[in-house]
Chains A and B, each alone.
Chain A
């Protein structure tokens, strides 16, 4: 085996010491002067301070967004709106390296992923939706689609820039203006995006960025927006759905998941193992659609598990800015605690835990890739979303049993199927209660492909023709 030499990313983005809220085209401090710190999870060092939006700031931003929607962005022709979005897409591509490094620093995810996935996919999302702006009547949703107005958007910390793109690009293409709250632990790329909006000469008030925590989000939900788009936990999604009951506000929700990744006995095992690894260890497992439940057919379970452990042993955990790194830092101390607590519960309930023997850095938040075998459906690690690099392995004997176990969850976001038999893929895909099914692949995303869940994973789609419905009155 060759040894790896460190290959750290040398580009460093210009990170300011302090960021304000982005309201009506300008950076400003919070009305009450509140701010908070953003920490690099791989070193626990403070990266910068940022203003924390309160209820007054929310009100100002929504008012600015309303003015911009009614006076500028709504009346603008779709073709012109589209040109702004194309411009944003191009600027994101030009600044791709800077955004990738910043995202890695603020979030803890490996540079390999921000560079090859987060940032390019975010740019694609703007490019894709730019093209829709003057073609909405052809989207098949009705002959006279109209914007909803002002959209309040709340996004999570796992893909900060990409989730921003998923929210802002379709909303703007459809003629809405937005007030977006990035996650408390990862506001950096949203604020850099605000600077990019200035550089693109986007009219003031079309995009407003309000860093803050749960209180800011709640104030945004309560504000005079026409629609809430939320990505995050099922518990918060449920609370939002309850709080807007009886109002005219619309809602789309992209919530948690506990996806089954099903490996049949006729799967190509090496490919399946790559897919299992990608399914659960991509982005430290901080993925709502992660393949966190491996369902493997009993007759091949020993072989699959042996090869899986071999493969996981080769994963490199450590410095997110090292281009060799496969698994970066856990995003926060709080999340690390939750992963550890659920993992302890797994051992406590009798599942067998396995981790590779890899070194972890002394500082920062880290968790070894973890595989649980002997998992029963009743265990917490089989039911609850861990949102970390922890795989629960269950077995099945018949295809029907695999489907029954896969669907035995209140979630319904995604699922994976591994078999070389096409008819079995279609059979399984039809029966899996999930919004996205990956067959002989996993964790693929594209602006042209609608993403979103069923059941308690929420409602509404992001991406594709179907995703436009979330931002149009049709």
Chain B
């Protein structure tokens, strides 16, 4: 052992491509399951949630407007950056969950592979889910899936890294932007993931990572009128999940309930909306409707 004093990391939020502390000035101690103090994490407030939604909204249209090829390359770049730091994430994850480093590395590698999987979906899912419709008239009619918009995610509590990537990757692959509330007791790998995102050409605001109490922050995200979808898959408390779903109903957000298992195409579909466009394909139809 060297007697050099280790430089410890300050775990901050990741919002709009920057690493702010909570505007509330609060933090909370994070420990491993055996009680070892690991670090302090920023304790996000309602206003941090609001800032994150604003950043996600600002980033959404430009992100959706990128070519699918570019979105795929950026997701692949995230996988590349994570691969290079797999060892660090395995240790952080092992500390967070009490798992062996070897097993934690397996979860990190699975997360990398999921990112690669979704990198390959960006330029395919629209043709798989959409298409031309054979309507009974002289019209060209086609349907394409489009991103829902801003998705608020309460990440899984006990699967703090792979679970978070599984929730975030399909949403952004489909052109949405995300505000993700990391596992309350195990937020450190998610906060470090912000550093990976920040060095992966992913535009600031596409993914925003908050740490804090789900019961404090999630109700504001679920009720926020500028949020279009809410992923409650990480909400363990059934009562909280029901109240978040009810809050989301106020502006008719799309909700993914806890326990709803979906394959990757199902997850892409969860966070997209179909748009159908009609156009006359013959001169007779160009005359309009029935009048």
Task: Decide if B139 is an interface residue (CB 8 Å cutoff).
Answer: yes
- What residues of A have a CB within 8 angstroms of the CB of B5 in the complex? none
Task: Decide if B250 is an interface residue (CB 8 Å cutoff).
Answer: yes
Task: Decide if A87 is an interface residue (CB 8 Å cutoff).
Answer: no
Task: Decide if A181 is an interface residue (CB 8 Å cutoff).
Answer: no
A242 to B223 CA separation, bound complex (whole angstroms): 12
Q: How many A-B residue pairs have CB under 8 A?
A: 146
Instruction: Assess whether B273 is in contact with A439, with CB atoms less than 8 Å apart.
Output: no
Interface 9-mer from B6-14, B162-170, B236-244: B236-244
- What residues of A have a CB within 8 angstroms of the CB of B251 in the complex? 410, 455-456
Q: Which of A140, A275, A277 contacts B128 (CB 8 A)?
A: A140
Interface 9-mer from A3-11, A153-161, A461-469: A461-469
- What residues of B have a CB within 8 angstroms of the CB of A253 in the complex? 252
Tell whether A245 pairs with B249 under 8 Å between CB atoms, given A440-B280, A449-B135: yes
Task: Decide if A241 is an interface residue (CB 8 Å cutoff).
Answer: yes
Minimum distance in angstroms from B271 CB to a CB of chain A: 12
B143, closest chain A residue (CB)? A450
Secondary structure call for the A interface:
mixed
Task: Decide if A396 is an interface residue (CB 8 Å cutoff).
Answer: no
A279 to B276 CA separation, bound complex (whole angstroms): 17
Instruction: Assess whether B289 is in contact with A443, with CB atoms less than 8 Å apart.
Output: yes
A413 to B246 CA separation, bound complex (whole angstroms): 22
A465, closest chain B residue (CB)? B131
- What residues of B have a CB within 8 angstroms of the CB of A279 in the complex? 289
A241 to B128 CA separation, bound complex (whole angstroms): 29
Minimum distance in angstroms from A245 CB to a CB of chain B: 4
Secondary structure call for the B interface:
mixed
Tell whether A441 pairs with B280 under 8 Å between CB atoms, given A142-B266, A271-B288, A466-B143: yes
| Interface hits, B276-291 → A, CB 8 Å | 276-280, 285-291
Q: Which of A142, A449, A464 contacts B278 (CB 8 A)?
A: A449
| Interface hits, B221-256 → A, CB 8 Å | 228, 238-239, 241-243, 245-246, 248-252, 254
Minimum distance in angstroms from B243 CB to a CB of chain A: 7
Instruction: Assess whether B278 is in contact with A245, with CB atoms less than 8 Å apart.
Output: no
A255, closest chain B residue (CB)? B252
- What residues of B have a CB within 8 angstroms of the CB of A459 in the complex? 252, 254, 273
- What residues of B have a CB within 8 angstroms of the CB of A455 in the complex? 228, 251-252
A165 to B247 CA separation, bound complex (whole angstroms): 32
- What residues of A have a CB within 8 angstroms of the CB of B274 in the complex? 435, 450, 452, 461, 466
Instruction: Assess whether B252 is in contact with A245, with CB atoms less than 8 Å apart.
Output: no
Task: Decide if A434 is an interface residue (CB 8 Å cutoff).
Answer: yes
A444 to B135 CA separation, bound complex (whole angstroms): 10
B241, closest chain A residue (CB)? A246
Tell whether A282 pairs with B290 under 8 Å between CB atoms, given A242-B246, A464-B133: yes
Instruction: Assess whether B249 is in contact with A238, with CB atoms less than 8 Å apart.
Output: yes
Tell whether A446 pairs with B287 under 8 Å between CB atoms, given A434-B275, A459-B273: no
- Chain A contact-residue range equals 35 or more
A458, closest chain B residue (CB)? B252
Q: Which of B129, B137, B286, B289 contacts A282 (CB 8 A)?
A: B289
Instruction: Assess whether A449 is in contact with B289, with CB atoms less than 8 Å apart.
Output: no
Most buried by A among B143, B238, B248, B275: B275
A444 to B249 CA separation, bound complex (whole angstroms): 30
Instruction: Assess whether A245 is in contact with B273, with CB atoms less than 8 Å apart.
Output: no
A474 to B262 CA separation, bound complex (whole angstroms): 8
- What residues of A have a CB within 8 angstroms of the CB of B280 in the complex? 440-441
Task: Decide if A117 is an interface residue (CB 8 Å cutoff).
Answer: yes
Tell whether A448 pairs with B136 under 8 Å between CB atoms, given A434-B275, A441-B278: yes
Minimum distance in angstroms from B151 CB to a CB of chain A: 14
A459 to B246 CA separation, bound complex (whole angstroms): 16
- What residues of A have a CB within 8 angstroms of the CB of B129 in the complex? 140, 466
Instruction: Assess whether A436 is in contact with B266, with CB atoms less than 8 Å apart.
Output: no
A125 to B290 CA separation, bound complex (whole angstroms): 20
A452 to B273 CA separation, bound complex (whole angstroms): 9
Question: CB-defined interface of A235-248 with B at 8 Å, one 1/0 digit per residue?
Answer: 00110011001100
Instruction: Assess whether A446 is in contact with B249, with CB atoms less than 8 Å apart.
Output: no
Question: CB-defined interface of A417-444 with B at 8 Å, one 1/0 digit per residue?
Answer: 0000000010001000011111111111
Minimum distance in angstroms from A148 CB to a CB of chain B: 14
Closest 8 CB pairs of A and B: A246-B242, A278-B289, A274-B288, A241-B249, A245-B245, A446-B135, A245-B246, A275-B288
Q: Which residues of A contact B (CB under 8 A)?
A: 112-113, 116-117, 124, 140, 142, 234, 237-238, 241-242, 245-246, 253, 255, 268, 271-272, 274-275, 277-279, 281-282, 311, 315, 326, 410, 425, 429, 434-444, 446-452, 454-456, 458-459, 461, 464-466, 469, 474
Extra pairs beyond A439-B278, A442-B288, A454-B273 (20, CB < 8 Å): A241-B249, A245-B243, A245-B246, A410-B251, A436-B277, A436-B278, A439-B277, A441-B279, A441-B288, A441-B289, A446-B141, A449-B133, A449-B143, A451-B276, A456-B251, A459-B252, A465-B131, A466-B143, A469-B269, A474-B266
Between A and B, 21 residue pairs with Cβ closer than 8 Å are A112-B290, A241-B252, A245-B246, A246-B238, A246-B241, A255-B252, A271-B286, A278-B289, A425-B279, A429-B275, A435-B275, A436-B278, A440-B279, A440-B280, A444-B135, A444-B137, A446-B133, A446-B135, A449-B276, A450-B276, A452-B274
